[in-house]
Amino acid sequence: MKALTSNRERFMGLLRKIRTTGRVAEPAPPRPDGQPPDAARQLGGSAQVRCVDAGSCNGCEIEIAAAFNPVYDAERYGARLVASPRHADVALVTGPVTRNMAEPLRRTVAAMAEPRLVIAVGDCALDCGEFAGGYGVEGAVGDVVPVDLAVPGCPPEPDAIVAALRRVTGR
Protein backbone atom coordinates (compact mmCIF):
# COMPACT_ATOMS: atom_id res chain seq x y z
CA MET A 1 0.00 0.00 0.00
CA LYS A 2 2.89 2.34 0.78
CA ALA A 3 4.33 1.89 -2.73
CA LEU A 4 1.01 2.94 -4.28
CA THR A 5 0.91 6.08 -2.17
CA SER A 6 4.49 6.92 -3.10
CA ASN A 7 3.78 6.45 -6.83
CA ARG A 8 0.62 8.54 -6.55
CA GLU A 9 2.50 11.33 -4.80
CA ARG A 10 5.17 11.34 -7.50
CA PHE A 11 2.51 11.40 -10.21
CA MET A 12 0.65 14.29 -8.57
CA GLY A 13 3.95 16.17 -8.16
CA LEU A 14 4.66 15.70 -11.86
CA LEU A 15 1.19 16.98 -12.78
CA ARG A 16 1.72 20.04 -10.56
CA LYS A 17 5.02 20.74 -12.26
CA ILE A 18 3.47 20.44 -15.73
CA ARG A 19 0.61 22.77 -14.78
CA THR A 20 2.90 25.46 -13.35
CA THR A 21 5.45 25.28 -16.18
CA GLY A 22 3.01 25.56 -19.08
CA ARG A 23 4.00 25.14 -22.70
CA VAL A 24 7.64 25.76 -23.44
CA ALA A 25 8.43 26.64 -27.06
CA GLU A 26 10.71 28.92 -28.99
CA PRO A 27 9.20 32.30 -29.85
CA ALA A 28 8.15 32.63 -33.46
CA PRO A 29 10.80 34.27 -35.62
CA PRO A 30 9.80 37.35 -37.60
CA ARG A 31 7.91 36.78 -40.81
CA PRO A 32 10.17 36.00 -43.77
CA ASP A 33 10.84 38.71 -46.31
CA GLY A 34 9.66 38.47 -49.86
CA GLN A 35 6.40 37.93 -51.61
CA PRO A 36 4.91 34.45 -51.68
CA PRO A 37 4.60 32.78 -55.08
CA ASP A 38 1.29 33.41 -56.86
CA ALA A 39 0.08 29.84 -56.33
CA ALA A 40 0.71 30.13 -52.58
CA ARG A 41 -1.94 32.84 -52.20
CA GLN A 42 -4.62 30.30 -53.14
CA LEU A 43 -3.64 27.80 -50.43
CA GLY A 44 -5.39 29.71 -47.64
CA GLY A 45 -2.62 29.66 -45.03
CA SER A 46 -1.88 25.94 -44.93
CA ALA A 47 0.16 23.64 -47.12
CA GLN A 48 0.36 19.87 -47.42
CA VAL A 49 3.99 18.97 -48.08
CA ARG A 50 5.41 15.94 -49.89
CA CYS A 51 9.18 15.34 -49.69
CA VAL A 52 10.89 13.87 -52.75
CA ASP A 53 14.50 12.66 -52.66
CA ALA A 54 15.66 12.88 -56.27
CA GLY A 55 19.14 11.51 -55.52
CA SER A 56 20.60 13.35 -52.55
CA CYS A 57 23.15 12.29 -49.94
CA ASN A 58 20.38 12.43 -47.27
CA GLY A 59 21.76 15.54 -45.53
CA CYS A 60 18.82 17.70 -46.63
CA GLU A 61 16.31 15.07 -45.52
CA ILE A 62 17.79 15.15 -42.03
CA GLU A 63 17.36 18.94 -41.96
CA ILE A 64 13.78 18.66 -43.27
CA ALA A 65 13.03 16.19 -40.47
CA ALA A 66 14.53 18.69 -38.02
CA ALA A 67 12.31 21.45 -39.46
CA PHE A 68 9.25 19.39 -38.53
CA ASN A 69 10.50 18.29 -35.09
CA PRO A 70 9.22 19.94 -31.88
CA VAL A 71 12.07 22.48 -31.76
CA TYR A 72 11.44 24.20 -35.13
CA ASP A 73 7.84 22.93 -35.49
CA ALA A 74 6.97 23.86 -39.07
CA GLU A 75 3.43 22.59 -38.43
CA ARG A 76 2.65 25.61 -36.25
CA TYR A 77 2.95 27.70 -39.43
CA GLY A 78 0.48 25.58 -41.37
CA ALA A 79 2.83 23.15 -43.16
CA ARG A 80 2.04 19.45 -42.74
CA LEU A 81 3.80 16.40 -44.18
CA VAL A 82 1.72 14.01 -46.27
CA ALA A 83 2.57 10.64 -47.76
CA SER A 84 0.98 10.97 -51.17
CA PRO A 85 1.54 13.53 -53.93
CA ARG A 86 -2.21 13.43 -54.57
CA HIS A 87 -2.72 15.05 -51.16
CA ALA A 88 0.15 17.53 -51.53
CA ASP A 89 0.23 21.21 -52.41
CA VAL A 90 4.00 21.59 -52.08
CA ALA A 91 6.86 19.30 -53.14
CA LEU A 92 10.14 19.67 -51.23
CA VAL A 93 12.67 18.22 -53.66
CA THR A 94 16.22 17.43 -52.55
CA GLY A 95 19.34 16.34 -54.38
CA PRO A 96 20.38 16.42 -58.00
CA VAL A 97 17.88 14.63 -60.18
CA THR A 98 19.33 11.28 -61.18
CA ARG A 99 18.47 9.64 -64.48
CA ASN A 100 16.35 7.06 -62.69
CA MET A 101 14.41 9.74 -60.76
CA ALA A 102 13.72 12.23 -63.56
CA GLU A 103 10.51 10.60 -64.78
CA PRO A 104 9.21 9.70 -61.27
CA LEU A 105 9.76 13.34 -60.24
CA ARG A 106 7.80 14.58 -63.28
CA ARG A 107 4.98 12.14 -62.48
CA THR A 108 4.97 13.13 -58.81
CA VAL A 109 4.62 16.81 -59.64
CA ALA A 110 1.98 16.04 -62.29
CA ALA A 111 -0.03 14.04 -59.70
CA MET A 112 -0.27 17.07 -57.41
CA ALA A 113 -3.43 19.16 -57.66
CA GLU A 114 -3.38 22.77 -58.82
CA PRO A 115 -2.19 25.09 -57.38
CA ARG A 116 1.08 23.33 -56.71
CA LEU A 117 4.50 24.55 -55.71
CA VAL A 118 7.95 23.02 -56.01
CA ILE A 119 10.66 24.02 -53.54
CA ALA A 120 14.23 23.00 -54.37
CA VAL A 121 16.03 22.31 -51.08
CA GLY A 122 19.83 22.37 -50.94
CA ASP A 123 22.65 23.29 -53.26
CA CYS A 124 22.44 19.95 -55.07
CA ALA A 125 18.83 20.62 -56.01
CA LEU A 126 19.74 24.08 -57.26
CA ASP A 127 22.87 23.36 -59.33
CA CYS A 128 23.79 19.68 -58.72
CA GLY A 129 26.42 20.70 -56.12
CA GLU A 130 29.09 18.03 -55.62
CA PHE A 131 27.36 15.73 -58.10
CA ALA A 132 27.57 18.09 -61.12
CA GLY A 133 28.79 16.29 -64.19
CA GLY A 134 28.20 12.83 -62.74
CA TYR A 135 27.30 10.10 -65.21
CA GLY A 136 24.03 9.29 -63.40
CA VAL A 137 22.89 12.89 -62.97
CA GLU A 138 20.13 14.24 -65.21
CA GLY A 139 20.46 17.79 -63.88
CA ALA A 140 19.18 20.19 -61.25
CA VAL A 141 15.55 20.13 -60.15
CA GLY A 142 14.85 23.24 -62.25
CA ASP A 143 16.00 21.35 -65.36
CA VAL A 144 13.32 18.69 -64.83
CA VAL A 145 10.33 20.51 -63.26
CA PRO A 146 9.55 24.21 -62.73
CA VAL A 147 10.82 25.47 -59.36
CA ASP A 148 8.93 28.15 -57.42
CA LEU A 149 11.21 28.62 -54.40
CA ALA A 150 14.81 27.75 -53.62
CA VAL A 151 16.46 27.03 -50.28
CA PRO A 152 20.26 27.23 -50.68
CA GLY A 153 22.74 25.51 -48.39
CA CYS A 154 24.64 22.27 -48.04
CA PRO A 155 22.60 21.23 -46.18
CA PRO A 156 20.29 24.18 -45.49
CA GLU A 157 19.50 25.03 -41.88
CA PRO A 158 16.05 24.01 -40.60
CA ASP A 159 15.37 27.74 -40.07
CA ALA A 160 15.76 28.34 -43.81
CA ILE A 161 13.41 25.47 -44.66
CA VAL A 162 10.82 26.75 -42.19
CA ALA A 163 11.21 30.28 -43.63
CA ALA A 164 10.48 28.98 -47.14
CA LEU A 165 7.42 27.11 -45.88
CA ARG A 166 6.28 30.26 -44.05
CA ARG A 167 6.50 32.20 -47.32
CA VAL A 168 4.19 29.61 -48.83
CA THR A 169 1.66 29.63 -45.97
CA GLY A 170 1.90 33.35 -45.27
CA ARG A 171 2.08 32.80 -41.51
Whether the predicted pLDDT of 150 surpasses 90: yes
- Average pLDDT over the chain, rounded to whole? 86
Question: Cβ contacts of residue 158 below 8 Å, gap of 6+?
Answer: 63, 64, 66, 67, 71, 72
Q: 170: pLDDT confidence band, cut at 50, 70 and 90?
A: confident
**Could you read off the pLDDT of 64-114 as tens digits, one per residue?**
999 999 888 899 898 999 999 999 999 999 999 999 999 999 999 999 988
- Inter-CA distances, 140 with 8, 54, 101, 125, Å: 59, 10, 11, 5
